[in-house]
Amino acid sequence: MSVAEYFSSMEYGPAPEDDQPARAWLAEHGASFGHFIGGAWCAPSSGERFETRAPASGDVLAHVAQGDAADVAAAVAAARAAQPGWFALGGAARARHLYALARMVQRHSRLFAVLEALDNGKPIRETRDIDIPLVARHFLHHAGWAQLQESEFADWSPLGVIGQIVPWNFPLLMLAWKIAPAIALGNCVVLKPAEYTPLTALLFAELAHRAGLPDGVLNVVTGDGRTGAALVDHPGVDKIAFTGSTEVGRHIRKVTAGSGKSLTLELGGKSPFIVFDDADLDGAVEGVVDAIWFNQGQVCCAGSRLLVQEGIEARFIAKLKQRMATLRVGASLDKGIDIGAIVDPVQLARIEALVEAGRNEGCSIWQAREVALPNAGCFYPPTLITDVAPASTLAQEEIFGPVLVTMSFRTPDEAVALANNSRYGLAASVWSETIGRALDIAPQLACGVVWVNATNLFDAGVGFGGYRESGYGREGGREGVYEYLKPHGWTMPLRAARVVREGGAPASIDGVDRIDRTAKLYIGGKQVRPDNGYSRAVYAPGGEFVGEVSDGSRKDVRDAVAAARNAQKWSQASTHNRAQVLYYLAENLAARADEFARQLARRADVSVNDAREEVDASITRLFSYAAWADKFDGAVHSPPLRGVALAMHEPLGVIGIACPDEAPLLAFVSLVGPALALGNRVVVLPSEACPLMATDFYQIVETSDVPAGALNILTGARSALLPALAKHDDVDALWCFGLADEAALVERESIGNLKRTFVDHGRRLDWFDRSSEGLAFLRQAVQVKNIWIPYGD
């Protein structure tokens, strides 16, 4: 027998991991758990418990508490009580606690790895080599951010109490992603693990307590979606951080609308895995294995859509099938398996139903005959689906199982079009040996993570998160830290003198006509009349008639959004070019500063001196954003894995902006400035009370080389225009500064395309303060795309 024959006929023997230490921990607790609140175990107030099972065998592992509103309230109270003291400890002391947690995870790594594999059904090889080391890395990395908090985030404060809801696919890793940044920066947490996989979170809470984490900093309340809903509803929670299905994420956005709670959502995906004809095909086949059969395909960023260039399709699929035949499916504690169990029969049924739907739509389904499934437990074989139409169920729906759908493309443009033909936008893999091609494709992909010649790479120092309906917010890296902070200035009271409605000294109106001309809308670079042909009178706060503006309608909103959509050139313009245009705006406003000040004084009933101060501040602010336009760069991360990750700042696309009544010119430029500087196209609703400053401003825009459609200005009734913007699916983000109920409306109506919202909840910012400029706004004007590229060896 030759060595080759020997290898091809050799059978695998079982290589079981000992589960006794994990079973002993369960037995120590009588295989029955309460919640972990305020540093102690607490029985559920209802007395209700439910089973958690090992998916690989179906055996009951333990009973855990079903949390209700009373349990959630107790946990929130414990977190609230602990938070001031935890923050007051200071960054360096908190850093030591996080280091202690990292070391605790390393000390108990095998226990965590076995318990996770048992409870989730995933291979021990993965929990041992991927999940648990990454958990430790997260605490270590974020210990560093705690250490640097006072110097790096001096103008920012923690949010307070954070409600975190995690799914079952990476139970402990998601816990780490959520709690490490939150507690590092001085927040306290109530975490709800997924109902299928609560055990490692409970073990973590117990061991963290033993490692000296102060009581109440981390509280774990177990239960199903009802417990999650109670946490979302609790008024004492300052932020909800959620990972899970797009459906539940959307629901959470809706029910938290107007509550003032911050929200980050990490949702589903249907990520493309693109193989060009010049790719290393064998490498790419291994990439597919990691993309879709890692964790049984139960990965939000799984490369679940294989897009192969036509010329190599047949050869690539043949290689892939050959590789699929060698995959081994089996019990999670067998160290020799590739694919473990599906988390629960409910999920298995979901996968089966979706594949069946594909069969009915005419797709071809292939599974290797050589792959045997265990007799008991919850398993699904690796599956390849061909003959898939781009619009079919299987090409569009997240299957969340070991099922790969494949399509082919001819040209790079076609690859991009297919890749972006999805409501999601989480991740993508690009395979090509031509670096120029891969790096040409990466910026064209509408997603938050791109891996070049690699897949499913993660690191605590590299941000992760989606575009479109894959959610918003980032986890990991500096951008993930900001998700748990708020700028100091956002709680400062408004300076009374700036309130437009409060009047002031009678304005000097020398040289100014008492009646303004009728201002038009500004859409697509043109002054246009409103669709309905109506105008609105505008009065100064003292009641004096000061002019008329167009009464824009929903149709005008549609036209303005279409104009903004078509102005992609602004997003593609060089940062140098955008900076120049913003300098030009500032320069042209400066040339007319006296006139703007006199008009502002009359229309807003403020003294000429105050008005002049506002105009000057507006000019300075435009200069600042011109300066930022070519400086708010991304970053290059050096993860301890392979290559580097380019964190690129990309514009969001079309941003709708609703301005407040305070400081009608300064607030307008403070919001439009960062959005334009970073390459977004804008549809802006100026102050309803004092809109004429914005309509005067379009004369500045017209003389400043702003391309048509990059900035569109709509006047009219806010009650008609704002809902139309909020509901429009071609608006990517909506900023609303003004009244609290407008913020609620914006958040509630944003759920259609899950647009990013940035609202002040009626807080009334001081637009003259330096906290109303800079990072807090620039961050909101970009989304970060992390592109992992090979670099060095």
**Residue ranges that bind ligand NAI, judged by CB under 6 A:** 165-169, 192, 194-195, 224-225, 228-229, 232, 243-245, 248, 251-252, 267-268, 300, 347, 350, 398, 400
Closest residue to ligand NAI in the complex (CB):
228
Q: Is the dihedral of CA 732, 733, 739, 743 positive or negative?
A: positive
Q: Do residues 48 and 67 touch, judged by C-beta distance below 8 A?
A: no
Q: Contact 71/89 with Cβ under 8 angstroms?
A: no
Q: Which residue, 34 or 651, is less far from ligand NAI as judged by CB?
A: 34
Cross-strand partners of 449: 427, 786
Strand partners, 190: 163, 219
At residue 694's C-alpha, the angle toward residues 598 and 690, to 5°, is 70
Least Cβ distance, residue 698 to ligand NAI (angstroms): 43
One-letter amino acid for residue 290 of the chain: D
Nearer to ligand NAI, 225 or 381 (CB): 225
Instruction: Output the smallest distance, CB 167 to ligand NAI, in A.
Output: 3
- Give least dist CB 189 to ligand NAI, A: 15
Nearest approach, Cβ of 285 to ligand NAI (angstroms)? 25
Q: Give the strand pairing for 156-158 and 485-487.
A: antiparallel
466 within 8 A of 243, measured Cβ to Cβ:
no
Q: For ligand NAI, give the closer residue by CB, 272 or 634.
A: 272
Q: Which residue, 205 or 579, is less far from ligand NAI as judged by CB?
A: 205
**What does the buried/exposed string (b/e) look like for 762-785 if buried means 16 or more CB atoms within 10 Å of the residue's CB?**
bbbbbbbeebbbbbbbbbbbbbbb
Candidates 427, 466, 399; CA nearest to 273 is: 427
Q: Are 272 and 424 in contact (CB under 8 A)?
A: no
Closer residue to ligand NAI, CB minimum distance, 166 or 521 = 166
Spatial separation of the C-alpha atoms in residues 686 and 665, rounded to whole Å: 9
Q: Is 537 exposed, middle or buried (0-12, 13-18, 19+ CB in 10 A)?
A: exposed
Residue with smaller CB distance to ligand NAI, 466 or 656: 466
How far apart, in whole angstroms, are the C-alpha atoms of residue 208 and residue 202? Answer: 10
Q: Give the CA angle between residues 456, 457, 462 to the nearest 5°.
A: 130
Tokens of 608: 């000429």
Considering the complex, state which of residue 295 and residue 624 has its C-beta at the smaller distance from ligand NAI.
295
As annotated, the active-site residues are: 266
Q: What is the DSSP string of 722-766?
A: HHHHHH-TT--EEEE-S-HHHHHHHHHHTTTTT-EEEE-TT----
Three-state secondary structure call for residue 793:
coil
Q: Which of 43, 37, 40, 38 has the alpha carbon at shortest distance from 64?
A: 43
Identify which of 90, 372, 45 has the alpha carbon closest to the alpha carbon of residue 223. Answer: 45
Short-list 395, 414, 386, CA closest to 316:
386
The CA-to-CA distance between both ends of the chain, in Å, stands at 38
User: Judged by CB, which is closer to ligand NAI: 106, or 245?
Assistant: 245
**Comparison of 168 and 737: residue with beta carbon closer to ligand NAI:** 168
Of 374, 382, 371, 375, whose CA–CA distance to 326 is shortest?
371
Q: Least distance to ligand NAI from the beta carbon of 458, Å?
A: 12
In angstroms, what is the minimal distance from the CB of 491 to ligand NAI?
A: 28
**Cα four-point dihedral sign 36, 41, 44, 45:** negative
Q: Provide, rounded to whole angstroms, the least separation between the CB of residue 177 and ligand NAI.
A: 11
Please say which residue, 328 or 748, places its beta carbon nearer to ligand NAI. 748
Q: Letter for the amino acid at 130?
A: I
* Token pair recorded at residue 575: 């940062």
73 vs 79: CA distance, rounded Å: 10
Q: Is 532 helix (H, G, I), strand (E, B) or coil?
A: coil
Contacts of residue 719, Cβ cutoff 8 Å, sequence gap at least 6: none
Burial of 67 (0-12, 13-18, 19+ CB in 10 A): buried
Question: How many CA atoms within 13 Å lie on the side-chain side of 603?
Answer: 32
Of the two residues 167 and 738, which places its CB atom closer to ligand NAI in the complex? Answer: 167
**Least distance from C-beta 477 to ligand NAI, angstroms?**
19
Shortest separation between residue 54's beta carbon and ligand NAI, angstroms = 17
| Least gap, CB of 233 to ligand NAI (angstroms) | 9
- Rounded to the nearest whole angstrom, what is the least distance from the CB of residue 396 to ligand NAI in the complex? 12
